[in-house]
């Protein structure tokens, strides 16, 4: 009887895990949580490991951690990897290396709360890219959601003073984060063309190419005298980022894109500022200002309206 109960319990757990893997909404909420933590970790790294070195070490350790799990998949799919290596290298250089280098650089000049809210501009870039390249038209409620999201991002970038946008008086960190957002939005659109690799092979190859493409940035940082070698805190941040935002979140994000498409999956990035802001206040003791509340309200409202618009479009 006990054996039967244990078997039933194991079966229930396996069923729950399968249901989790098949549920894109749970997967993408976990992605947003882990990426929100990435901003906090990046802020904790300031002064303890320099941004470009952090990017290189992040992907180096990600390669080490994923290699034992992905090696057989990489060997099996090597002909396909070799055929598409230029595309894969471009994914890694833009979506992994350049985005993260700019992300961690931005955190040297602006708050973790600002960075997480500014990431919410990605869905607009993804929708524009899909419309221009593939003719995918958003529904009306999605357009309203975009507008709310964009306003929330602009309010954050301007630190509540929209007049500063007219004079282009932007914080350096906020400007860097906007550029990073543009790059990752483009990466998400381009995922449509990725080769049909197993997710383990995909992550392994991208992490390796990201490490390789990050080396020139780290080399310049060292040559220019800006490099900060990691101390105990810096090394801890590297390990956290390599495992959670890098391997786990990137894998779940790709799975989410496969299940519901880039447009809808990217909307869940709007939850990053919610988690990131809470973590920044709790862990970093950052000040949560009134304009942050207004911006977050617009971001959450935007994702709800856009998702409602998609459901109505599917139903009709």
Q: Phi then psi for 137, rounded to 5 degrees?
A: -95, 130
Closest CA to 162 of 150, 180, 172, 177: 150
> How many of the other CB atoms lie within 10 Å of CB of 135?
7
Instruction: Please determine, for residue 92, whether its predicted confidence score (pLDDT) is greater than 70.
Output: yes
pLDDT-derived band of residue 82, with 50, 70 and 90 as boundaries?
very high
- The string of pLDDT tens digits covering residues 292-304 is 788 778 777 776 7
Instruction: Please determine, for residue 273, whether its predicted confidence score (pLDDT) is greater than 70.
Output: yes
What the block records as the tokens of 48 is 């303890």
The mean per-residue pLDDT over the stretch 31-47 comes to 87
Q: What per-residue string of b and e applies to 71-106 under the rule 16 or more CB within 10 Å gives b?
A: eebbeebeeebeebeeebbebbbbbbbbbbbbbbbb
Q: Give, in order, the Cα–Cα distances in Å from 145 to each of 5, 242, 256, 271, 309.
A: 48, 32, 20, 13, 9
Residue 95 DSSP code: I
> How many of the other CB atoms lie within 10 Å of CB of 219?
13
Most confident of 67-76, 147-156, 270-279: 67-76
What the block records as the tokens of 222 is 């060292």
Residue 110 DSSP code: S
- The string of pLDDT tens digits covering residues 143-189 is 777 777 777 777 776 666 666 555 555 678 888 888 888 888 888 88
Q: What per-residue string of b and e applies to 235-255 under the rule 16 or more CB within 10 Å gives b?
A: bbbbbbbbbbbbbebbbbbbb
Closest CA to 101 of 219, 273, 247: 219
Kindly tell me the burial class for residue 65, based on how many C-beta atoms sit within 10 Å of its own C-beta (0-12, 13-18, 19 or more): middle
Instruction: Please determine, for residue 52, whether its predicted confidence score (pLDDT) is greater than 80.
Output: yes
Instruction: Please determine, for residue 16, whether its predicted confidence score (pLDDT) is greater than 70.
Output: no
pLDDT-derived band of residue 214, with 50, 70 and 90 as boundaries?
very high
pLDDT-derived band of residue 7, with 50, 70 and 90 as boundaries?
very low
Q: At what angle do helices 172-190 and 99-106 cross, to 10 degrees?
A: 160
Residue 138 DSSP code: P
Mean pLDDT estimate for the chain: 80
- To 5 degrees, how large is the angle CA 125–CA 128–CA 131? 150
Percent of the chain with pLDDT over 90: 23
Kindly tell me the burial class for residue 10, based on how many C-beta atoms sit within 10 Å of its own C-beta (0-12, 13-18, 19 or more): exposed
Could you write out the DSSP letters of every residue in 15-47? HHHHHHHH-HHHHHHHHHHHHHHHHHHHHHHTT
Q: Give, in order, the Cα–Cα distances in Å from 22 to each of 16, 53, 255, 268, 310.
A: 10, 36, 9, 16, 19
The mean per-residue pLDDT over the stretch 85-94 comes to 92
Closest CA to 55 of 241, 248, 284, 243: 241
Decide if 122 contacts 187 (C-beta within 8 A). Answer: no
**Cα end-to-end distance, the chain, whole Å:** 51
Segments making up each domain of the chain, as ranges: 27-315
What the block records as the tokens of 284 is 């970093």
């Amino acid at each position: 009887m006990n054996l039967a109960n244990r078997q039933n319990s194991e079966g229930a757990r396996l069923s729950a895990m399968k249901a989790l893997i098949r549920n894109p909404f749970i997967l993408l909420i976990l992605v947003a949580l882990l990426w929100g933590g990435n901003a906090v970790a990046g802020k904790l790294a300031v002064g303890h490991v320099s941004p470009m070195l952090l990017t290189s070490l992040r992907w180096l350790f990600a390669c080490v951690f994923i290699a034992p799990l992905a090696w057989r998949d990489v060997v099996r799919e090597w002909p396909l990897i070799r055929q598409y290596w230029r595309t894969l290298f471009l994914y890694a250089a833009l979506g992994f290396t350049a985005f993260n280098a700019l992300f961690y650089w931005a955190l040297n000049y602006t708050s973790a709360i600002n960075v997480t809210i500014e990431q919410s501009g990605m869905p607009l870039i993804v929708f524009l890219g899909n419309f221009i390249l593939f003719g995918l038209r958003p529904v009306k409620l999605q357009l309203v959601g975009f507008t709310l999201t964009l306003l929330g991002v602009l309010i954050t970038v301007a630190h509540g003073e929209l007049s500063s946008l007219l004079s282009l008086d932007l914080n350096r960190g906020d400007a860097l984060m906007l550029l990073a957002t543009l790059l990752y939005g483009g990466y998400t659109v381009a995922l449509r063309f990725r080769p049909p690799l197993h997710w383990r092979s995909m992550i392994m190859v991208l992490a390796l190419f990201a490490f390789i493409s990050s080396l020139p940035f780290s080399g310049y940082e060292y040559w220019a005298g800006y490099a900060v070698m990691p101390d105990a805190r810096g090394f801890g941040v590297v390990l956290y980022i390599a495992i959670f935002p890098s391997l786990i979140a990137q894998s779940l994000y790709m799975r989410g894109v496969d299940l519901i498409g880039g447009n809808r999956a990217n909307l869940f990035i709007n939850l990053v500022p919610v988690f990131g802001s809470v973590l920044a206040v709790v862990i970093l003791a950052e000040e949560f200002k009134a304009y942050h509340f207004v911006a977050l309200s617009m971001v959450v409202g935007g994702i709800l309206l856009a998702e409602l618009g998609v459901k109505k479009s599917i139903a009709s």
